[in-house]
Amino acid sequence: MPEVVGLRFRRMEPVSYFDAAGLELETDDQVVAEGAHGPALGRVVIAPKQVLVSELTEPLKPILRKATPEDLSQAEEWREKEKGALAQCGELVAKHELSMKLLAAEYNLDGSHLTFYFSAEKRVDFRALLRELGATFKCRVELRQVGARDATKSIGGLGKCGRPLCCVTYLSKFEPISVRMARDQGLPLNPEKLSGVCGRLLCCLRYEHEQYLAVKQKLPAVGQSVATQYGTAKIIGTNPIKETVIVQLESEATLELPLSQIEKQQ
């Protein structure tokens, strides 16, 4: 059974899994691993743990080594060059009059591959730009268009809750989110309140959705008659989080009662 570690190479990328290759690793250790475009410096975000070989969806690449001082110094040199590369790319984008917003530039550890991340409202024909970028930087260049969520993740910021964005702090991948989730949670369908900094539906709409669905199956429907210790009543509201119902008695008085204190009537 291999020991598996989760690495993150850059903020915009999801967690990737590697074979620890017998190395003693802890969270936040920096290592060198074979990325999609050659050797890359990664940070351990999930400490080594044993998993069954049958649970692995694909063969794992081994981590090459713990990052040495030379690796860290080389990575820092490339990070400094990325700033200039981004500025040069911006000038070429303007030259070609392309409607794209550059977000970041990224070299791999040996400088043989350079990736530019950008966002755009529509599909962009950047073939001419790509040829000129290759001639300018003398290495393999990739232009990668990312969505609104990834673009916001690369910049960072604060959410409506006042805390750093979830996508920046811990989310490793984006799950599908729908308006139905807001409806299931009884939230007002107001686009301004349901949208995050990225302009898309809030990621946190998904966090408690399954819990809401599970509790709502136990709650009586609004308008249903129930028996209480105070007499027959009608359900006029529910609170899935508290697992309570709001009832109206025959006297027209309203009460909030836990599920354990009501009995559904046929």
Judge if 160 and 180 occupy the same domain: yes
| Local confidence band at 89 (pLDDT 50, 70, 90 cut-offs) | very high
Distance CA 163, CA 157 (A): 8
Judge if 80 and 45 occupy the same domain: no
Q: How many domains does the chain have?
A: 4
Q: What is the pLDDT of residue 71?
A: 95
Nearest to 118 by CA among 140, 136, 98: 98
Nearest to 200 by CA among 162, 174, 170: 174
Judge if 198 and 257 occupy the same domain: no
pLDDT surpasses 80 at 19: yes
Nearest to 61 by CA among 40, 77, 80: 40
pLDDT digits (tens, 9 = 90+) for 91-148: 999 999 999 999 999 999 999 999 999 999 888 899 999 999 999 999 999 999 988 8
Handedness of CA 21, 10, 79, 106 (dihedral sign): positive
Q: What mean pLDDT comes out for the span 52-77?
A: 84
Q: What is the pLDDT of residue 132?
A: 95
Q: Which two tokens stand for residue 187?
A: 């939230």
Q: What is the pLDDT of residue 177?
A: 93
Q: What is the pLDDT of residue 56?
A: 66
Nearest to 143 by CA among 90, 77, 81: 90
Distance CA 115, CA 209 (A): 36
- Asked if residues 255 and 249 have their Cβ atoms less than 8 Å apart, the reply is yes
The 10 Å CB-count burial string (b at 16+, else e) for 3-17 is bbbbbbbeebbeebb
Give me the CATH number covering residue 258: 2.30.30.140
Q: What mean pLDDT comes out for the span 63-91?
A: 94
| Local confidence band at 235 (pLDDT 50, 70, 90 cut-offs) | very high
Judge if 139 and 160 occupy the same domain: no
In a domain, 235, yes or no: yes
Residues forming beta bridges with residue 8, ordered by sequence position: 43
Amino acid symbol at 102:
L
Q: What mean pLDDT comes out for the span 34-59?
A: 77
Q: What is the pLDDT of residue 12?
A: 62
Average pLDDT, the chain: 88
Instruction: Extract the runs of DSSP E, i.e. beta strands, from the chain.
Output: 3-8, 16-19, 30-35, 38-50, 63-66, 101-107, 113-119, 140-145, 225-228, 231-239, 244-249, 254-258, 262-264
* Backbone conformation region of residue 15, classed left if phi is above 0, alpha if psi is from -120 to 50, else beta: beta
pLDDT digits (tens, 9 = 90+) for 160-184: 889 999 888 878 778 899 999 999 8
Of all residues in the chain, the percent with pLDDT exceeding 90 is: 50
Give me the CATH number covering residue 81: 3.30.300
Q: What mean pLDDT comes out for the span 235-262?
A: 90
- Asked if residues 195 and 201 have their Cβ atoms less than 8 Å apart, the reply is yes
Range of the domain at 21: 3-67
Judge if 55 and 97 occupy the same domain: no
Q: What is the pLDDT of residue 249?
A: 92
| Local confidence band at 150 (pLDDT 50, 70, 90 cut-offs) | confident
Q: What mean pLDDT comes out for the span 225-231?
A: 91
Element (H, E) at 42: strand 38-50
Q: What is the pLDDT of residue 21?
A: 85
Which of residues 13 and 245 earns the better pLDDT score?
Answer: 245
In a domain, 92, yes or no: yes
The pTM of this model reads 0.71
In a domain, 122, yes or no: yes
Judge if 85 and 140 occupy the same domain: yes
